[in-house]
């Protein structure tokens, strides 16, 4: 039976919310926030930017939240509105009240959020776990998507090796000490170091009991059915996304897909080379602009 995600206790939730409030200082632009009610719970949305470009909607990584995008949002919002969502069912300001029991529920959830925001057309960008959610929307209900960008979509195009999954489990079992978090980052995202503020946010987030499942490898026929223009971005040293194998699948089965791989960076490329990620993503988006969405 599908369940609902929650923090382990009130203390961990309160610690997370305190750290979240402090982390909001990282956001480089003026922003307004709202909490949108959906049939799956309330969704926290952060809005920045102005302009006539088709809006961008951002879906964050596992362990992240809408603030994850603070290093790229300024570029994204130069001539359009950007919406950074706290995915329902994750450690965030969103509050899950009903199960997301199947993959298509993510598409239903996003459509309800877009309805409330008055958005008819968007560019959807997802990072890591958020790339899975983005692909799920493209697969199950793509009517509002001008394009999608999948950044390091681990588990969506190729299956992670068991040794990688087992090592992740081992890190999880060792808890949230500074030494364990540092070792995990050095292994999964070499070159990315958590600041004290980020660590303060990650530690209570580990105590969130997520119940929304994990990415699955899309079948060839499912990839072939995705007609939305798609950009897939990999770190050349990624442990979870297998750029060469995944890129071959995209070339063969994703009719409107493009790939780019950045050498020398891994799964944490959004934090290592944010300027390059933002520039390439915007280049792709601008090639696929269409009628502006209602704002």
pLDDT at 293: 42
Q: What's the confidence (pLDDT) of residue 71?
A: 97
Please write the tens of the pLDDT for every residue from 59-98. 999 989 999 999 999 999 999 999 999 999 999 999 999 9
pLDDT recorded at residue 38 = 99
Q: Please determine, for residue 227, whether its predicted confidence score (pLDDT) is greater than 80.
A: yes
Do 120 and 146 touch, CB atoms closer than 8 A?
A: no
**SS3 letters across 200-257:** HHHHHHCCEECCCCCCCCCCHHHHHHCCCCEEEEEECCCCCCCHHHHHHHHHHHCCCE
What pLDDT, on the 0 to 100 scale, is given for residue 263? 96
Under the banding of pLDDT at 50, 70 and 90, the label for residue 291 is very low
pLDDT in tens, 131-188: 999 999 999 999 999 999 999 999 999 987 767 666 666 666 666 777 777 777 777 7
Lowest mean pLDDT among 23-37, 133-147, 183-197: 183-197
Note the pLDDT of residue 19.
94
Residue 182: per-residue pLDDT: 76
Structure confidence at residue 292 as a pLDDT band (50, 70, 90): very low
State the pLDDT at residue 177: 73
3, 100 contact by CB (below 8 A): no
Provide the β-strand partners of residue 188. Answer: none
Q: What's 156's DSSP letter? A: T
User: Chain centroid to CA 242: how far?
Assistant: 18
pTM of the shown model: 0.94
Q: Answer yes or no: are the C-beta atoms of 292 and 54 closer than 8 Å.
A: yes
Share of the chain above pLDDT 90, in %: 77
Mean pLDDT of 11-40: 97
The answer for 152, left when phi > 0, alpha when psi is -120 to 50, beta otherwise, is: left
Q: Band of the pLDDT at 286, cuts 50, 70, 90?
A: very high
pLDDT attached to residue 193: 79
Task: Taking residues 203-209, report their average pLDDT.
Answer: 89
Mean pLDDT of the chain: 91
pLDDT over 80 at 54, yes or no: yes
pLDDT, position 169? 65
3-state secondary structure of 199: helix
Q: Which CATH class is domain 6-287?
A: alpha beta
Radius of gyration, alpha carbons of the chain: 18
List the structure tokens of 118: 């008055």
* Other CB atoms within 10 Å distance of the CB of residue 260: 16
Q: How far apart are CA 107 and CA 117, in angstroms?
A: 15
**Does the pLDDT of residue 221 top 90, yes or no?**
yes
Q: Residue 115 pLDDT > 90, yes or no? A: yes
């Amino acid at each position: 039976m599908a369940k609902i995600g929650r923090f382990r206790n009130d203390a961990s939730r309160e610690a997370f919310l305190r750290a979240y409030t402090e982390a909001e200082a990282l956001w480089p632009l003026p922003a307004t926030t709202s909490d949108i009610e959906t049939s799956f719970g309330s969704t926290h949305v952060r809005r920045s930017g102005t302009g006539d470009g088709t809006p961008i909607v951002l879906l964050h990584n596992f362990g992240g939240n809408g603030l994850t995008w603070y290093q790229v949002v300024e570029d994204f919002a130069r001539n359009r509105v950007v919406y950074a969502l706290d995915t329902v069912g994750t450690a965030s300001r969103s509050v899950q009240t009903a199960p997301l029991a199947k993959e298509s529920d993510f598409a239903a959830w996003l459509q309800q959020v877009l309805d409330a925001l008055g958005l008819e057309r968007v560019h959807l960008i997802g990072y890591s776990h958020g790339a899975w959610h983005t692909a799920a929307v493209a697969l199950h209900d793509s009517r509002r998507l001008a394009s999608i960008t999948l950044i390091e979509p681990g588990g969506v195009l190729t299956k992670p090796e068991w040794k990688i999954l087992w090592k992740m489990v081992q890190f999880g079992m060792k808890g949230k000490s500074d030494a364990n978090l540092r070792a995990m980052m050095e292994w999964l995202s070499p070159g990315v170091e958590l600041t004290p503020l980020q660590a303060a946010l990650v530690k209570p987030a580990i105590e969130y009991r997520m119940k929304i499942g994990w990415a699955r490898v899309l079948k060839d026929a499912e990839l072939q059915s995705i007609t939305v223009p798609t950009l897939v971005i990999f770190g050349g040293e990624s442990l979870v996304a297998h750029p060469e194998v995944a890129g071959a699948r995209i070339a063969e089965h994703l009719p409107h897909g493009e790939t780019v791989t950045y050498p020398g960076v891994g799964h944490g490329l959004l934090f290592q080379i944010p300027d390059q990620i933002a520039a390439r993503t915007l280049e792709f988006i601008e090639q696929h602009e269409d009628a502006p969405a209602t704002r």
